Every structure is written in structure tokens, then in C-alpha cells.
Amino acid sequence: MMDPETADLIRGLVYTHNRANANTAGVYEASAAVSALIELLIERGVLDRPAFEARRQATAEHLRDQYVERGMGVAIQNFGVSKYEFTGGSKVDCEYRIHLCRAACCKLPLALSKEDVQEGIVRWDLGQPYMIARQGDGACIHLNRETHCCSVYAQRPIPCRGYDCSNDKRIWLDFENRVINPRITDPQWPLCLRAEGDERG
């Protein structure tokens, strides 16, 4: 006989799946109606397709940013390759720059991959799946504050392996001459940049 805790868990999962299925059906119906309306308006010359596509893309990007800001939905990445087979590593000389940048890259937004989640080593934010977990100041939960080193370096996600900060103006005003962007000392960095527009080069 099933124990009460397992029975409660199953009931909860069934309810969640039923709600997800109902929501998906509703979204599908709304999407079909909107798509049919758009095609009809384009056919009758009311809408210009290129102009519509440009506006649709801009609106989608804006809504996606709001979606992430509010912690809605699930963020998960698919790179098509295991992180242990990834070969696009960065060549930045981090060990000679870490005292300047203070591991600023470890404050940048990062969604884990299915591989990361299933592996169960890199921690994610329970309130915002599957964004990497953060310390109180916004730094990655796996950043050692004394050494500025990664405590899960061997298992780090692909973005951490491949990220190259050399052209990122949010961090470096002049990478070659090691001139840091002073904004990284702002406790709200990099969120403070959103109100001013992304400064990435």
C-alpha cells in the first residue's frame, strides 16, 4: 500500500500536470486564433509582413526580459553538446586580472543546462528555475570570496567555460590596458545597467 507522503506527492504532481496541460491547450487556441487573424490581415493588405515581423521580434525580446526579471517560467539552456566535450574555452588570463575585475563575470545572469541540473552539483535558484543560485550580493553561490575561485570548477556550466570578457564593456573599458569599468563596484551591478541600456561591446 502506498504511504501517505507518496500519495500526497502523486496527487500534487497530477494536479500540476493537469494545470500545465490546461494552460498549454489555452495558449495553443489563442496562438492559433492570433496567427489566423494576422495571416488574414496580411492577405488583405492591412498588415505589412516585414514590418510585422520586425515589431514581433522586438516585442518578444522585451517580454522575455520582463519574464526573466520577474522570475517567471523556467530558464534552461540546450547547447547540443556535453560541457565535458565543450572545446570553446576562453583564453582570458583571469589569474592576472581577478584582483581588478573581482570576478565580475560571476555576477552575470546564467541559466543552467539539463546536464547541469541532472548532475546535481551546480546549485540553482529554487525560486527561479533553473537560474544559477546566488549569494546575498548577487555573486554565484559557488564563488569562493577569499580566493575568487570557482568551487565547482571541474563541473562548471558551458557559459562559464566559454565566456570571454575581453569585449564586454560592462566589465572592461580597455581590456588590453586593464582599465576596469568602475560601475562593477556598484552593489546593484549588473542590474543597474538595465535602466541605462546594455553597455556590452
Neighbours of 104 (CB within 10 A): 23
Domain ranges, ordered by start, for the chain: 4-69, 94-193
For the chain, the helix, strand and coil percentages under 3-state DSSP, each to the nearest 5: 50, 5, 45
Q: How far apart are CA 57 and CA 81, in angstroms?
A: 27
Phi and psi, residue 106, nearest 5°: -80, 5
Q: How far apart are CA 161 and CA 89, in angstroms?
A: 5
Per-residue pLDDT of the chain (201 residues; tens, 9 = 90+): 668 888 888 788 788 888 888 998 999 999 999 999 999 999 999 999 999 999 999 998 888 777 766 766 677 899 999 999 999 888 899 999 999 999 999 999 999 999 999 999 999 998 888 899 999 999 999 999 888 899 999 999 999 999 999 999 999 999 999 999 999 999 989 988 865 655 454
DSSP 112: P
Q: What angle do CA 123, 125, 130 make, to 5 degrees?
A: 85
Measured CA to CA in angstroms, residue 163 lies from 17, 67, 200 at distances of 36, 24, 13
Q: How far apart are CA 87 and CA 144, in angstroms?
A: 25
Q: How far apart are CA 153 and CA 156, in angstroms?
A: 5
pTM here?
A: 0.66
